[in-house]
C-alpha cells in the first residue's frame, strides 16, 4: 500500500500525523509524497474555524473525483472527523475511513476492514504508544497531554478532543530519550493547555509532577532547547515562569493566549480570568524572564464586542508589548455555546477590526525585532532558505531568521548569529564562529555573483 497524509491545523495535528504515519509504516505501508502516487489518502483535519473546514470539503470533492477513476481509499482523521459536520461530509464524499483524535490507533483495524470503518471513541492507550523519533531532524514535538477541560464558549476543541488526559511522566521521558538518541536538539511540549498537566478533570494525579516540575525534568535531560505550547492563563502559575527563568535549556519564549482585552468579552467567552489577572501573569513572566519573547492569540469580533471592547484589546496589546500575535476573526462553530446563544457580528465590522489589530501587531513586531539588531541570538538552522545561498532557522524566541551560508557551518545545527537586519516578520544576520567573529560567507557561484567577484570573465 502507498499512503499519503495531508495535514491541516495545529502542531497537535502534526504530531498525530507522525503517530499515524508510524502506524501505517509498521503495517507495511510505503509513505509517498503526493496524492497522485498514493492508493490511500488520509486527511488530518482541523475544525477550529470555518476556513480549515471548507478546505477539507474542497479536497474531499477532488478525491471523490479521483476515486471514480482509479482504486483509491480515502480517510479522514482529526478534529473535524469527530463532529457531526465532518461525518456528514464523510457520507457525502464517500469517505472510507474515519478516525477521531482519540481513536488514531484504530488505523490498523481500519486497514483490515474491507468496508467503511469509522472509529470515534476516545481511547486512553493512545498515550502508551510512542512513535519512532524523527531520524535526522533537529526539532521534535512531544505531546504531554490530550484534550481540554475548559469550556471557552467559542471553542470546538473540548468536543473534538474530549476531556484532558495527561500522559504519564515515564512515558513522556521515554519518548524524550528516543528523540535525544535520534539527535533531536529542540523539543516542543504540546498540549491544548500544558499548564494544567497532571491535573485531569480538576483532580491532581498521584505521582505526576506539576507542569513546572515537568519542565525542569525535561530541561535537565540534555536536550539543548525546550519550548511548549499552548497555555490557558487560568492555569499559569508563577512557578512555570520561575522554571523558565532558572533552567538554561528552556527557551525565553511564552505563548499566552489572551483572546480579548475586555473583561466583558472575556466573561462572555467564559475565559475564567480578567484583564487584571492576565496582566499579573505577564508581570510575573517579565520579572522571572527579563528578555522573554511574548506571543498571544486574539479573537476579534466576538459576538457583542463593541468598539469600546475592541479598544481595550488594542490597549492591552500596548500594555503587554507583544512580540507577535496570532489574530483571528471570530468564526461561529456549530456545537459551541457562542454559536447557539449569540448573534454573529457583521463580516465587514470584524474584518475592519482585524485590519486595525494587524496594523498594531506589525508596528510592535517591527519595534521588537528592530531591538534585536546588534544582538547575538542562538539559532537552530533547519536547512536551505528559499533564497539561494541562505540558511533558515529560528531563535530561542521563535523569530524566523535567515543567514548566508558560511564556511565551517553545517546547513542544519545550532549556531550563534549576530542580527544585522529586522522586518516585522523576520530577522537576518551573520553566523559567528567560536571566537565570536562572523564566519566567512560561502562563495555563491551564481553567474551574477561570480561576475561581481571577478571569478568569471565578464562577457
Ligand atoms: N473563532 C475564531 N478563532 C478561534 N480560536 C478558537 N476558536 C475560534 C473560533 N471559533 C482561536 C483562539 C485559539 C486559537 C487556536 O484559535 O484564538 O487560541
Ligand atoms: Fe484545529 Fe484545535 Fe483540532 Fe488543533 S486541536 S486541529 S487547532 S481544532
Query: Which structural domains are found in the chain, ordered by start?
Result: 2-119 (3.40.50.2300), 126-370 (3.80.30.20), 371-459 (2.40.50)
Nearest CA to ligand 2 atom 8: 48
Share of the chain above pLDDT 70, in %: 96
Residue 119 has pLDDT above 90, yes or no: no
Residue 449 has pLDDT above 70, yes or no: no
Please report where in the chains the cell 475511513 appears, as a residue. Answer: 97
Q: Which of 298, 326, 327 is nearest to 313 (CA)?
A: 298
| Model confidence pLDDT, tens digit, residues 302-325 | 999 999 999 999 999 999 999 999
Residue 456 has pLDDT above 60, yes or no: no
Enter the C-alpha cell of residue 404.
Answer: 548566508
Does the annotation place 148 within a ligand binding site?
yes
Does the annotation place 251 within a ligand binding site?
no
- Ligand 2 surroundings by CB, under 6 angstroms: 9-10, 12-13, 46-48, 78-79, 157, 160-161
> Which pLDDT score is estimated for 447?
59
Find the mean pLDDT for residues 124-137.
74
Confidence at 451, pLDDT banded by 50, 70, 90: low
Nearest CA to ligand 1 atom 18: 297
pTM: 0.93
User: Distance between CA atoms of 450 and 447, rounded to whole angstroms?
Assistant: 5
406, β-bridge pairs:
441
| Model confidence pLDDT, tens digit, residues 231-253 | 999 999 999 999 999 999 999 99
> Which pLDDT score is estimated for 459?
40
User: Distance between CA atoms of 236 and 243, rounded to whole angstroms?
Assistant: 12
| Model confidence pLDDT, tens digit, residues 403-431 | 999 998 999 999 999 999 999 999 999 99
Calculate the dihedral angle through the C-alpha atoms of 429, 433, 439, 445, rounding to the nearest 10 degrees: -90
Peptide bond connecting 230 to the previous residue in cis, omega within 30 degrees of 0? yes
Residue 166 has pLDDT above 60, yes or no: yes
> Which pLDDT score is estimated for 127?
65
Task: Give the burial class of 290: count Cβ atoms within 10 A of its Cβ; 0-12 exposed, 13-18 middle, 19 or more buried.
Answer: exposed
Our answer on whether the CB atom of 155 is closer than 6 Å to any ligand 1 atom is: yes
Find the mean pLDDT for residues 183-198.
96
> Which pLDDT score is estimated for 448?
60
Amino acid at each position: 500500500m502507498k499512503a499519503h497524509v495531508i495535514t491541516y491545523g495545529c502542531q497537535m495535528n502534526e504530531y498525530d500525523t507522525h503517530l499515524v504515519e508510524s502506524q501505517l509504516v509498521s503495517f507495511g505501508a510505503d509513505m509517498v509524497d503526493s496524492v497522485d502516487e498514493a492508493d490511500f489518502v488520509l486527511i488530518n483535519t482541523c475544525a477550529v474555524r470555518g476556513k480549515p473546514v471548507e478546505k477539507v470539503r474542497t479536497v474531499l470533492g477532488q478525491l471523490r473525483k479521483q476515486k471514480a477513476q482509479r482504486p483509491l481509499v480515502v480517510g479522514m482523521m482529526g478534529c473535524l472527523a469527530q463532529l457531526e459536520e465532518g461525518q456528514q461530509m464523510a457520507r457525502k464524499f464517500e469517505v472510507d475511513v474515519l478516525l477521531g483524535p482519540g481513536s488514531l490507533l484504530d488505523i490498523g483495524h481500519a486497514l483490515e476492514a474491507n468496508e467503511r470503518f469509522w472509529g470515534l471513541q476516545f481511547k486512553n492507550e493512545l498515550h502508551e504508544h510512542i512513535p519512532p523519533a524523527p531520524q535526522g531532524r533537529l526539532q521534535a514535538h512531544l505531546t504531554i497531554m490530550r484534550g481540554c477541560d475548559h469550556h471557552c464558549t467559542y471553542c470546538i476543541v473540548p468536543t473534538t478532543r474530549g476531556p484532558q488526559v495527561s500522559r504519564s511522566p515515564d512515558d513522556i521521558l521515554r519518548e524524550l530519550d528516543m528523540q535525544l538518541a535520534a539527535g533531536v536538539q529542540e523539543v516542543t511540549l504540546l498540549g491544548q493547555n500544558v499548564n494544567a498537566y497532571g491535573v485531569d478533570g480538576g483532580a491532581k494525579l498521584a505521582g505526576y509532577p506539576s507542569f513546572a516540575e515537568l519542565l525542569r525534568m525535561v530541561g535537565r535531560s540534555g536536550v539543548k532547547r525546550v519550548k511548549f505550547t499552548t497555555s490557558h492563563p487560568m492555569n499559569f502559575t508563577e512557578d512555570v515562569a520561575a522554571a523558565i527563568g532558572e533552567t538554561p535549556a528552556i527557551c525565553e519564549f511564552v505563548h499566552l493566549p489572551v483572546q480579548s482585552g475586555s473583561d466583558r468579552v472575556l466573561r462572555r467567552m467564559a475565559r475564567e480570568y480578567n484583564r487584571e489577572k492576565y496582566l499579573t501573569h505577564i508581570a510575573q513572566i517579565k520579572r522571572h524572564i527579563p528578555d522573554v519573547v511574548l506571543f498571544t492569540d486574539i479573537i476579534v469580533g466576538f459576538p457583542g464586542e463593541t468598539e469600546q471592547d475592541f479598544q481595550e484589546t488594542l490597549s492591552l496589546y500596548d500594555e503587554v508589548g507583544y512580540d507577535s500575535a496570532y489574530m483571528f476573526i471570530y468564526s461561529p462553530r456549530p456545537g459551541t455555546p457562542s454559536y447557539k446563544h449569540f448573534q454573529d457580528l457583521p463580516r465587514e465590522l470584524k474584518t475592519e477590526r482585524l485590519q486595525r489589530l494587524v496594523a498594531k501587531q506589525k508596528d510592535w513586531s517591527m519595534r521588537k525585532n528592530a531591538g534585536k539588531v546588534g544582538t547575538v541570538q542562538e539559532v537552530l538552522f533547519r536547512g536551505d532558505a528559499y533564497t539561494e545561498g541562505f540558511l533558515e532557522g529560528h531563535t530561542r524566541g521563535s523569530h524566523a531568521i535567515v543567514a548566508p551560508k558560511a564556511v565551517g557551518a553545517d546547513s542544519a545545527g545550532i549556531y550563534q548569529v549576530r542580527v544585522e537586519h529586522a522586518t516585522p516578520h523576520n530577522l537576518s544576520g551573520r553566523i559567528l564562529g567560536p571566537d565570536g567573529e562572523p564566519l566567512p560567507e560561502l562563495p555563491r557561484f551564481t553567474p551574477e555573483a561570480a561576475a561581481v567577484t571577478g571569478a568569471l570573465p565578464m562577457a
